[in-house]
Amino acid sequence: MSRRALIVGTGAALPPRRVTNTELAERVDTTHEWIVERTGIEARHVAGDGETTATLATEAAKKALAAAGIEAKEIGLIVLATSTPDQTFPASATRVQTALGIDDCIAFDVQAVCTGFLYALSIADNMIKGGMADHALVIGSETFSRILDWEDRATCVLFGDGAGAVVLKATETGDKGILATRLHADGRHGDLLYVDGGVSTTGTVGKLRMKGKEVFRHAVTNLAAVLDETLEAAGHVSSEIDWVVPHQANKRILDATAKKLGLDPAKVIVTVDQHANTSAASVPLALDVAVRDGRIKPGDLIVLEAMGGGFTWGAAVVRY
């Protein structure tokens, strides 16, 4: 049996401040009804003073370590997916490392926007397979509230802050673990979802800009294709899936993707109603919710998928 990575613990963190659609409707020209009908979102969490991508990531990581029963000092690798790091450098992963009291391990950030967690998971999986670490923390953490244009109703209602984490452990026995991952990018669509600032261009942080309708159109096609591709690589078919843990951008995208794959919508984990789109955090946040409420059980076949700015997209098939 070849070396694989098992998911042995999950954790999540949300800022306490919860912002409802009704509250947003006091700031921009929108309604609770429009947001729910077009997106499925009812509320989102927004980071307050002192709450950052690294602090949320640390909280999620501590919960994942506790769930796994693994000491922080056993972690040999931290991969943190984010597009909203605390600072341009050092990597937020190293802030998390220090907050966890780990003196020496591999630690770096990955930036693939909403697909960031899938990229981070695939990198960590392959580093574990290659013998670089026996235990890894893979985290998605974001504070998109800091890059939203709070006057643009077409984007500010869609996103939220939060973090999710998993602990991976190397194994050479059994049939569980990450069975296959597949990643894609197509930079020709970079102008459909981007931030209008940056270190080497404007020297400012910038604000998120999105042509939502066009992103939506690509999302369903790309997600269905990468799910098929990853299932085939893992030697499984869609009828065998117990749970889909998708990126939580829009309830209509989740429904359309499930339909395209012929999947029962009841097998799709949905958190977009309460978390909105938390970019790289959304998949591990949703995974943690479904593990903790008992829906996802050991031995289940789960698929994780995401699509985001770049465009980037990817999927993973996991025997949990």
- The structure tokens listed for 160 are 């939220």
DSSP letter assigned to residue 98: H
Q: Is 212 an interacting residue with respect to ligand UT7 (CB under 6 A)?
A: yes
Place of tokens 């009828």: 239
Nearer to ligand UT7, 58 or 83 (CB): 83
Q: Is 308 an interacting residue with respect to ligand UT7 (CB under 6 A)?
A: yes
Q: What does the DSSP assignment read for 22-79?
A: HHHTTTSS--HHHHHHHH---EEE---TT--HHHHHHHHHHHHHHHHT--GGG--EEE
> Which region, judged by CB under 6 A, interacts with ligand UT7, from 74-82, 171-179, 214-222, 267-275?
214-222
How far apart are the C-alpha atoms of 110 and 241, rounded to whole Å? 28
Question: Could you tell me the CA-to-CA distances from 17 to 20, 66, 162, 275, 277 in Å, in that order?
Answer: 10, 24, 11, 11, 16
Place of tokens 């780990």: 102
21 carries an active-site annotation:
no
247 carries an active-site annotation:
yes
- The structure tokens listed for 277 are 């789109």
How far apart are the C-alpha atoms of 234 and 246, rounded to whole Å? 18
Nearer to ligand UT7, 229 or 255 (CB): 255
Q: CB–CB of 287/166 below 8 Å?
A: yes
Nearer to ligand UT7, 146 or 153 (CB): 153
Q: Which among 21, 247, 250, 275 is annotated as catalytic?
A: 247
Q: At what angle do helices 32-39 and 251-260 cross, to 10 degrees?
A: 20
Residue from 153, 184, 236, 260 touching ligand UT7 (CB under 6 A): that is 153
Question: Could you tell me the CA-to-CA distances from 233 to 281, 304, 313, 315, 317 in Å, in that order?
Answer: 25, 14, 16, 11, 9
Q: Is 213 an interacting residue with respect to ligand UT7 (CB under 6 A)?
A: yes
In whole angstroms, the minimum distance from the beta carbon of 31 to ligand UT7 comes to 6
Residue from 53, 83, 84, 250 touching ligand UT7 (CB under 6 A): that is 250
In whole angstroms, the minimum distance from the beta carbon of 35 to ligand UT7 comes to 6
Q: Is 287 an interacting residue with respect to ligand UT7 (CB under 6 A)?
A: no
Q: Is 249 an interacting residue with respect to ligand UT7 (CB under 6 A)?
A: yes
- Evaluate the omega torsion of the peptide bond into residue 284 and state whether it is cis, within 30 degrees of 0: no
Nearer to ligand UT7, 230 or 250 (CB): 250
Q: Is 111 an interacting residue with respect to ligand UT7 (CB under 6 A)?
A: no
Question: Could you tell me the CA-to-CA distances from 105 to 77, 82, 126, 150, 171 in Å, in that order?
Answer: 6, 19, 16, 38, 19
236 carries an active-site annotation:
no
Q: Is 286 an interacting residue with respect to ligand UT7 (CB under 6 A)?
A: no
Residue from 94, 122, 277, 278 touching ligand UT7 (CB under 6 A): that is 277
Nearer to ligand UT7, 54 or 192 (CB): 192
Q: Which among 114, 135, 156, 275 is annotated as catalytic?
A: 114
Residue from 18, 20, 32, 38 touching ligand UT7 (CB under 6 A): that is 38
* CB proximity list for 289: less than 8 A, separation 6 or greater: 12, 269, 271
Nearer to ligand UT7, 27 or 297 (CB): 27
Q: Is 108 an interacting residue with respect to ligand UT7 (CB under 6 A)?
A: no
In whole angstroms, the minimum distance from the beta carbon of 159 to ligand UT7 comes to 8
Nearer to ligand UT7, 169 or 247 (CB): 247
Q: Which residues bind ligand UT7 (CB under 6 A)?
A: 30, 34-35, 38-39, 114, 153-154, 157-158, 212-213, 215-216, 219, 249-250, 253, 277, 307-308
Query: Could you give the residue numbers annotated as active site?
Result: 114, 247, 277
